[in-house]
Structure 1
């Protein structure tokens, strides 16, 4: 496939590069993480919104919502420049790249008018209420319920969600809940937009990870309310809406992820040269394999972005990067050797539990083949929906 950038794309690249060079240093000076890198935050989301950089990939057929749109190649250009500039992870990713396209495809005009401008301005942050204890990758096992109340004007939601990214920051949550009593599997589910600011009705509990951080959360709904007009699609049609959203989860943003992967791989290569580990044939072979597989992931992402419909593409992408990133974490520890088990000052009683970049990479990547749909689920999707093989027996 010819995926070349034209003169207009390169002009757009220069515009993006210039804007990031002007705005990112000021943000970094005010907001840094423990390693001195730009930290995500609402201020940065609002700055991106003011610059018109949110919503580039939204379809314009439902009108404008304060965002500007861009061609697919320019979306790729922006993603590349954003990653190369070392800009912070996005708080608004779920709203911009998952909810907004879902509303444009399945929502009504009032929902688009209410929610999309706030996302485009970087003012409202979203989280995703899908996974539950016992219903993680297998979303059809959802048990959270939503019942009509108050004369049908609201839904009252009861249940628990888990592994909810950004729930501690979010203003809203898009929730998959069971609205038909006695329904099973993918039948009777609905897609609801739920405000998080409901004291006593919505409780968020951070989950402490191996890395010592808490990027994920448990969310408990105890009679939480969602307005009836915030039902996306028809009642009981939530499974179709949810699958449509998941199909959008691995779009242009995967290219940002891969540029980040390339930076991590380069760090591991430098360490291998410094420690002499690169002289070992087995290590050198694995470094080359990681590089080659990363190129394949990029080409595959570009190929699927340029195709109108590529069945199973999101599942293939997840299988590729999940295993790749996990192997990179393992390689980083192998290259470092015994010191990989030690912190920056392991003998200091005053030293908190801290990890360096590669240690965090190793520990966090243990979950890469589980979250976002486990490898088992992705292989089942490819087998059943692409290859037409018999469905897995379910009890």
Structure 2
């Protein structure tokens, strides 16, 4: 077997936790009309078929803005907007319906492919679309009559859930229907957010031209919490709009939104089946959760600290010892995986505590995760009435000095700790007032 083949197998093994996590989950995908014009559009449909085959429940919400523009230009009709929203008169509505129908048909055709030499061979998927979106007219705003432009009034969550339970992919076009039989032109983002929130989707995936959200320096931001968005400056208009949609969805109750590129043929799968993803994750809460460790975390902590124990950086802990001391530990969890840990051992009789086993996973070092846990345990020490914390270190002295610790002699240690001091390791002692 070739090295490349083995790499594929190893990658496939590593996807197992994600396959198990995503099975029976509900994802809503928002694809603007621009994505349908990109050569990678068919590949995205193939990847959707793969997700469907892995048991993911999928709702696809598509846009059609460039398709509408093309039809209006061909018919010599001028587009009219007010506040970035299209004014849909009767002649425009005809082209809106035509664009939506044509693109819906194209998507249904792509999701029906099954040639023996295609990625969708044997997929046999059902695609369901219908009157799942009830709409109302926007009416007159600032003296402007928007006519057939509307807003989402209600999502038929029960109907969508029934189709998903039957194994169908639900396809929603940017059109809504009123109880009186009228058709309204709706904003893609409005449908996507209302649908994701209404059906209790686990994720909303938003596709744009770029790989995700970049800061002012052009650096890709891998993850953001909603609380961080207020202070974030995004100069690209499309990225700003996608970020605003993600924020709306999270505030409405969607746990996670992913912003990825429709141009990258690996973006969707890489975002969902690798640790760091491909684009930008916007989480309703902090993507990385810091919490007190439990007995279920013993295996993850052992996996984290064993390499450092082999190198002699940490004192070796048996599983039994770790189980007995698990209440002293705090962990940083990312997507169900423990990526950092630290422990606090109090010595209340001497008003101090030992900080130990401060470890970050090699893949996640350099992002102040150890520092975060250190500060949290310093706060925990203060809450327990301790005045100082100390550490014993053989190879990380400079890092603790940078965190405000000062080197002291062994005599400064609590008597109980002095009695257990390992002369062979000859660890340096550092104290810090908290």
Same fold (TM over 0.5): no
Task: Give the TM-score band, short-chain normalised.
Answer: under 0.3
Q: Structure 1-normalised TM-score?
A: 0.25
Larger radius of gyration: 2
Q: Structure 2-normalised TM-score?
A: 0.23
Bigger proportion of residues as strand: 2
